[in-house]
Amino acid sequence: MSAPEAEQVQEVEDTVEEAPAGPIPRSLMDYNISIPARDRRSNYLSLGKRDQILKKYENPKANFSDIKEANWYGDMYAGDDYKSHKWALGKDVDEPGFGSGVDDLSRILLDAKKDVKFNKNLSTRDGALYWVEKKNKANPNNKPWSVSVTDINGDKIPEIIIADGNGNIKYVNGWHLTESKTPLRAAHQSYIETKFGFPNQIAQKRKLCQIAEGDMSIKNWIYQNTSVNKDAPYGPLIVKPELEQAGYKSRGLNTCNLFMKFVTKPLYQSIITEIANQFTNYDFTKHLKSAASIISINAKLYTKYVSGPVYNALRAANYSDKQMKKKLPNSNYSIYSQKCAEMIQSISSNQSVLNQISSEIREFIMISANKIPTDYEHKRNPLLDADEFYDRRNSYKKFSAADYLK
């Protein structure tokens, strides 16, 4: 630990010592500590350093891994000493004519224009800490997000809370809000009902093989209602009025997409097919394509050959990050995007560079291939194919009315 980091940890420790007595919250936010954003990110949002800071206030034998095995939040809300932090959920009153909670749901869907989604990985403290740690690491220049386990509605049941850099709650027990796609979903469902009918009619058509796989998918519906703009082939697609009215907006390809399309993908497909043909095990080749992800490979290559060199060149030319991303006059692209596009064009026509990239792709794929057993078989729980898995009473082969009536 460097000297500045040590000073920051000591500063936080000194602040914690002044915290009120009572059950120890599992997040420093419960103490309402005021710490500069950069200090918070480098200290208590790091699991190791965070545990160092709280060590003297917890059971000396307890640590982050021990907490998972204990009902550690059982006593957090006992007694009057515990004071929740700034989050306090007032008593809800149902509006007349609405089922319990439906008035709140209506406000979310209709007024806030949001959808409600659930992420099971964020429904536990450990999962939330892991996710926030990665998010903060990926966005080091932003105010860090944080995790708290606390009781915001006073029912003595702890909630897993994720708050943004301003301390505003964004996730509660894995539930969160996203931009509404209701108009798009409604338009798609209207298309299904018009073309294929209602559930009983669709079921009958499926039995008669009148509906192919993917016919009713939203992806197919969007494809049927969009087309390429010949005047701007890499820009947004032309969207038909029906789709546009439903709120669908097409976006042009970014330079990372273009690198994938014109450099990485052609090379990858050729190499992965060549390697896969060396094996007769279908499960192996199928899993290899998943393990040696083209998206991951493309991201690494794009950074190395395009975005990294372009960024460094512009910085050397005294461009700030803001200037790089600012759109050029009378255009819809920035100097950064322009230089990246020019770099991709240069690479795609340079066989020497393509050969070098091809070698790196092969290396990436072979690293994954060497980690997979050549006799790899897709694992499936044998119980899934047993009648007893769906109904354990299937083991009783003879029916007994007397047993049924017990």
Say if residue 29 is in the same domain as residue 170: yes
Burial of 109 (0-12, 13-18, 19+ CB in 10 A): middle
CA dist., res. 374 & res. 399, Å (int): 48
Asked whether residue 284 is assigned to any structural domain, the reply reads: yes
Contact 132, 147 (CB under 8 A): yes
Asked whether residue 98 is assigned to any structural domain, the reply reads: yes
Domain count, the chain: 3
CA dist., res. 337 & res. 199, Å (int): 47
Q: Is the pTM of this model over 0.75?
A: no
Of 205, 122, 212, the closest CA to residue 162 belongs to 122
CA dist., res. 30 & res. 87, Å (int): 10
Q: What is the pLDDT along the chain (406 residues), one digit of tens a residue?
A: 444 444 444 443 343 333 333 333 333 333 333 333 333 333 333 344 344 433 433 333 333 333 333 333 444 433 333 344 567 787 888 899 999 999 999 999 999 999 999 999 999 999 999 999 999 998 888 999 999 888 888 888 888 999 999 989 999 999 999 999 999 999 999 999 999 999 999 999 999 999 999 999 999 999 999 999 998 888 899 999 999 999 999 988 999 999 999 999 999 999 988 887 777 666 677 778 888 899 999 999 999 999 999 999 999 999 999 999 999 998 888 999 999 999 999 999 999 999 999 999 999 998 888 887 766 566 667 766 666 566 666 666 677 788 778 8
Say if residue 22 is in the same domain as residue 160: yes
75 forms beta bridges with: none
Asked whether residue 400 is assigned to any structural domain, the reply reads: no
The answer for residues whose C-beta is within 8 angstroms of residue 79's C-beta and 6 or more apart is 22, 23
Of 172, 118, 130, the closest CA to residue 149 belongs to 172
The answer for residues whose C-beta is within 8 angstroms of residue 158's C-beta and 6 or more apart is 73, 76, 77, 149, 150, 151
Say if residue 121 is in the same domain as residue 30: yes
Say if residue 212 is in the same domain as residue 341: no
Say if residue 210 is in the same domain as residue 268: no
Q: Which helix (H) or strand (E) holds 400?
A: none
Contact 289, 297 (CB under 8 A): no
CA dist., res. 238 & res. 235, Å (int): 9
Range of the domain at 262: 255-371
Asked whether residue 317 is assigned to any structural domain, the reply reads: yes
Domain stop point among 216, 245, 274: 245
Token pair recorded at residue 394: 């299937």
CA dist., res. 216 & res. 193, Å (int): 10
